[in-house]
Structure 1
């Protein structure tokens, strides 16, 4: 951020007194240059703003000169983590109608809405092209009223025009700080007193905590984690360094769980809790110091998943040390379940954001509209979410089994029981949470009538390989979700049949013993299941714009992982080997979504030889060739090396957040 624009207010006798204060606040926010746009001609001011936007090659921080606020609020606008456009807003007071409302933190136009604009806006560089259209919209009379005559500041005219042109800014709310626009000497004096009454640094430290977090995190972590955040800031640690420390704590916890003695399990539980505290602190430190970056966001996401899955492995290994059966199968079930769940979380979030964007420009996507089941569920959910702190609010947040609750459950059960019980609890609660969220989200998605995979590189996020892109997709099947679901069901059914003993398991290609590849044997059924899985690639080129097609990536992840599990069961692959394969596959797939979510560099245009399709073929080949254990281990090493080298190459010029 190097350019700020100070927008002059007309018909305001305080302009000369407030403008210098606002200019100082803009400079404190990181602007090295402040351009003033003022004068009584509102139309000329708007045209000047459009010209500045056309000339700019950097974000623009726009601020009305009648705003009295803490400088850190403008600093917050200028340092939005993902580099998105954002506006300073506040909840409306009684009788003070706003014209905005929030949808998942994004602002959309809403007559008499619960949110009002406070006169400060940071436009991302990618959104500067909307300013010209916004000015054209703003200069048109609306409802018989010429806003150029009634408005006192160009920003009050520009923002509605930007929203009409398709801008969906992020909401930056005042919360513990203070900001208001003043028009009289009494208002100016009162506003200055309110600003001076707030300990800005103390408020910023508290504001670094997420406003709406999960139950365990809110009461068992965020109640004291700001103290750790302050210590880390004084020690000049970066958020990424804190992330690295949290990884060390999680690995130490996993090693303690592996030891499996009662003291070791208790120590592991404590280490896991402290690691989770640090996991919260890294984000708080980033928000407190405003040190953001795509690399830090990506690293945080990848570390969260890696830590959790390493703990699963530690719990399973410890239970096995105690002679407890089924621990590794539970760990494998947990990693498959959580990864598939996270894939649905990512794409449902993207779907909601797309719905908000389309609603902003008056197209389909308003999940609250209509009277269908999905719309009613959406309204009920929004009502519960608005009732912060109520029993229903906390139950809704707990039932979905977020990471804080997962880590708390693991720590408590590992300390008082053992790793197998902890893993079983994670699987059972995870399955119930998945069924709950999947059912409700599907109903709400149908009411939104929005597709999201059509807005991205679908082939990349499906993780299609050359076999699908070049051969299988030529079949041109439609309904990609149906084929993705069938792809997941086929290996799952095979796993159930093998576990029940309905399918014969044998040593592949042993001389004189081909029963396993005859009718009814595991070999033939494995090939059949793999062919059904590969059929999901035949719909790769079809439109993925259906209301439920956001589930396709999760279906493909489940299909691939379950094929790996089926091969392991049929060929007696040691559970740690298949867990290692699933671990690196999960990191690979989280990498795809984390880059999208954190605004990180995308994968190079060059496509990898192996996608999910190629890996499925390799897994079946390893099984048929009698080298399933070595093959899965080799595949795990290959994927892991490819992931690490690719990450290092892509991020070697990245800055820590």
Structure 2
């Protein structure tokens, strides 16, 4: 069924089918089931018609026999060839082809099952197929049938399974092995039974989330977002997990812009650059110091935030993911935020207020929050990795606790939702920070803008880091047991940004006599507390000595690979040490109001963000020589303190030169690394680069 023109979104190019499942073998598996004939179902095509809309051929056949026969016949269909995918669908499923695009026509999808949010089910929730997806959201861990229970189910199974060409032989073997074990007690849901067999046999089955679409099957009916399928797809293009302001204010605006852009062929990367330009424009308006310009800048900054959401929404709607977009996203948000802070600080200094140290502190606090978050997520990743329950196909219960619930949980209560959104706001994600900056810009009080952001982000850091550290110290951190020590240098080591001096100390000591992690923690405490304190109160030479001692302890205790319950605190601690020392050195020891320290710290901050984004999006770290060329955290700190000890008048000029050199160095290596990775991806359509 083709959607009416009034319900369409975007032009033909935006709605095009890429053909990732083109030529697939199609199998309808299971009993047709009853047809309720509800209003929602009447508006939806049956699954065969939807598959035809995607260019898939007519089904090979429809088998509705006993479970053993269904599995055997499906195995035979899989053995026909191994050069095209196989799409297995429930014959009684009613769903739009638009809802199937992310499973059947998206790059990066291999063998995968369509999974849906059970809270969208308005009728027959007890009849819906059930599954549990891993905490990382990547794989199906367990599946339920009439015979099999699934512990803690969190997804419904509408009834579509895609088997990748390279998995056909393994899937056929698993089905043939399981077929003799199947009996009528397994029920009529052949797609759920087949998915269960593949999961329990150890074949990775990706979880392909169904967006906010209408669907129905037998006595089950789920209702999606308002509007037709393409409108629902536009709604689902908004990234999940945003903050409160983004979810309820920014995204509704960005989707309107996205709808317009989809109809006019906008490129996601061009949209990213436009958002960056708007952020820079806001900074230039602020730099004028005029009240009216600050009001306009407040509006422009929020527009830039909305436009920044559009690039990802266009990419997700069209399923065209450019790896270049990951690089542009990595730098755009920081450039906009830092540029506005610098503009506000410059106006404050012109008016006789100490704008630069507060701006530097605010920038450092924002960076701390992100570094801590990324390091913590990297630490938890092993514990959140999907772990399918590998069992014989006829075992009635999965590996979950025997007393675990086997039905869908209730939707979150209002109190739970209020707590969730309150925590989101306190966490100060980017939309909340932009809102705070925009609102305070309206006051035309530069120090209020800077202090408000600094205090809000410090509270966010105290909330997140404090809670996590307390949980670790009180042994209430159940995830740590799943964190396996790394055998080689890992993500955490790359984020530390230790240079040649630290590596030299590590080589002199050797891994055999490696001190415990707490030694490095003591060194970090010296760098974070003693060095700035001595810079503030005593001779610079004393702070230099403290920096040497602290750096040596860090090098000893944090030799790669770092592995400790508090290891995720290490990158943020070293960042705070460097930023704090630079701020105190410039604005107290030397005693000048200059942007040199801000520029220097911004260059280093870019590098730290770049390391995180490259590890997250590409799985590769910057070139090994970069830590040597950039001297590392300990090297840069010691060189600056040496300069302050013997040539304090040269500190500010050297900071300016170092800021430029580091920016060029980091940007050049970053651009080279991203370009190399982009070239390795080949067709940009074939990458699932995160947006």
TM-score > 0.5 by shorter chain = yes
| Alignment-derived partner of residue 373 in structure 1 | none
CA contact (8 A) 2:78 2:86 kept: no
Counterpart in the other structure of 1:548:
566
- 1:94 corresponds in structure 2 to 125
Secondary structure, counterpart of 2:114 in structure 1: strand
SS where residue 307 of structure 1 aligns?
Answer: helix
Aligned to 1:103: 135
Q: Aligned partners of 1:264 and 1:292: how far apart in 2?
A: 36
Partner residue of 2:669?
A: 646
What pairs with 1:279-318 in structure 2 (closer than 5 Å)?
279-318=308-347
Residue 145 of structure 1 and its aligned partner are, at CA, apart by 5.9
Q: 1:438 aligns with which of 465, 476, 479?
A: 465
1:304 positional shift: 1.0
Q: Distance in 1 between matches of 2:186 and 2:248?
A: 51
Contact (CA 8 Å) 1:214, 1:402: kept in 2 or not? yes
Moved more, 449-458 or 431-440: 449-458
TM, length-normalised to structure 2: 0.75
Task: Select the residue among 45, 49, 57 that pairs with 1:21.
Answer: 49
What is the aligned counterpart of 2:603 among 580, 584, 588?
584
Q: Offset of 1:343 from its aligned partner?
A: 1.0
Whether 1:235 and 2:264 are equivalent positions in the alignment is yes
After superposition, what is the alpha-carbon deviation per residue over 1:199-252, rounded to whole angstroms, capped at 9, x for unaligned?
A: 222222222223453222233322332221122223322111111111111111
Q: Which of 495, 520, 524 is 2:542 aligned to?
A: 524
Instruction: Note if 1:165 corresponds to 2:209.
Output: no
**1:409 Cα shift?**
0.9
Quick one: structure 1 residues 434 and 46, their matched pair in 2 at CA, closer, same or farther if it must change by over 3 Å? farther
**Residues 179/565 of structure 1: CA separation in 2 closer, same or farther (3 Å cut):** same
Correspondence for 2:396: none
Give secondary structure in 1 for the equivalent of 2:126.
Answer: coil
SS of alignment partner, residue 8 of structure 1? strand
Deviation at 1:152, TM superposition (A): 5.1
Aligned to 1:357: 385
Cα deviation, residue 332, structure 1: 0.8
Aligned with 1:64 (options 69, 79, 89): 89
Structure-1 separation of matches of 2:318 and 2:619: 20
Task: Please report the TM-score for the alignment, with normalisation by the length of structure 1.
Answer: 0.78
Deviations 1:282-314 (A, max 9, x none): 222222222223321232132112211111111
**Aligned residue in 1 for 2:497:** 463
Residue of structure 2 in register with 1:341 after alignment: 369
- 3-state SS of the aligned residue for 2:537? coil
Given that residues 250 and 311 in structure 1 are in contact (C-alpha distance below 8 angstroms), is that contact kept between their aligned partners in structure 2? Answer: yes
In 2, the alpha carbon distance for the partners of 1:332 and 1:265 equals 21
Moved more, 382-391 or 578-587: 382-391
Provide the rounded CA distance (Å) in 1 between the counterparts of 2:54 and 2:415.
33
Q: 1:261 to 1:133 in 2, by over 3 A?
A: same
Out of 412, 416, 420, which is 2:443 matched to?
416
Return the offset for 1:434.
0.8
Matched, 1:116 2:116: no
Distance 1:71 1:63 in 2: 14
Over aligned residues, Cα RMSD in angstroms?
Answer: 4.2
Match of 2:628 in 1: 609
In 1: Cα distance, 2:498 partner to 2:301 partner: 36
Change beyond 3 A, Cα 1:332–1:122: farther
Deviation at 1:591, TM superposition (A): 1.0
In structure 1, the residue matched to 2:229 is 200
TM-superposed deviation, 1:118 = 2.4
Which residue of 1 is the match for residue 238 of structure 2?
209
Matched, 1:623 2:657: no
SS at the partner of 1:291? coil
Distance across 2 between alignment mates of 1:548 and 1:86: 36
What is the SS of the residue equivalent to 2:132? strand
Secondary structure at the counterpart of residue 544 of structure 1: coil
Deviation at 1:630, TM superposition (A): 3.1
Distance 1:437 1:588 in 2: 23
Distance in 2, Cα, partners of 1:551 & 1:76: 37
In 2: Cα distance, 1:49 partner to 1:351 partner: 39
Q: Is residue 29–residue 88 contact of structure 2 (8 Å, CA) maintained in 1? A: no
1:406 matches 2:441: no
Contact 1:216 1:405 in 2 (8 A): yes
Which residue in the other structure is 1:636 paired with? 659
8 Å Cα contact 2:112-2:206 kept in structure 1:
yes
**C-alpha distance 555-483 of structure 1, shift in aligned 2 (>3 A):** farther
Q: Distance in 1 between matches of 2:628 and 2:561?
A: 23
* DSSP-derived class of the 1:222 partner: helix
**Within 2, Cα distance between the matches of 1:51 and 1:618?**
68
Partner of 2:9: none
Task: State how far apart, in whole Å, the 2-side matches of 1:466 and 1:441 are.
Answer: 31
My pick for the range that moved more, 89-98 or 156-165, is 156-165
Deviations 1:467-520 (A, max 9, x none): 333543553465775345434432332465257x521xxxxxxxxxxxxxxxxx
2:27 pairs with 1:8: yes
- Residue 549 of structure 1 and its aligned partner are, at CA, apart by 2.0
Give unmatched runs, 5+ long, in structure 2: 1-18, 34-44, 64-68, 119-123, 143-149, 391-399, 402-408, 686-690
Cα distance in 2, alignment partners of residues 100 and 453 from structure 1: 27
> Following the alignment from structure 1 to structure 2, what is the Cα–Cα distance between the partners of residues 91 and 46?
29
Give aligned pairs, total.
601
Q: Secondary structure at the match of 2:158?
A: strand
SS of 2:434 mapped into structure 1? helix
Give the Cα–Cα distance (whole angstroms) in 2 for the partners of residues 461 and 152 of structure 1. 48
With over 3 angstroms needed to count, the CA separation of the structure-2 counterparts of 1:446 and 1:384, relative to structure 1, is farther
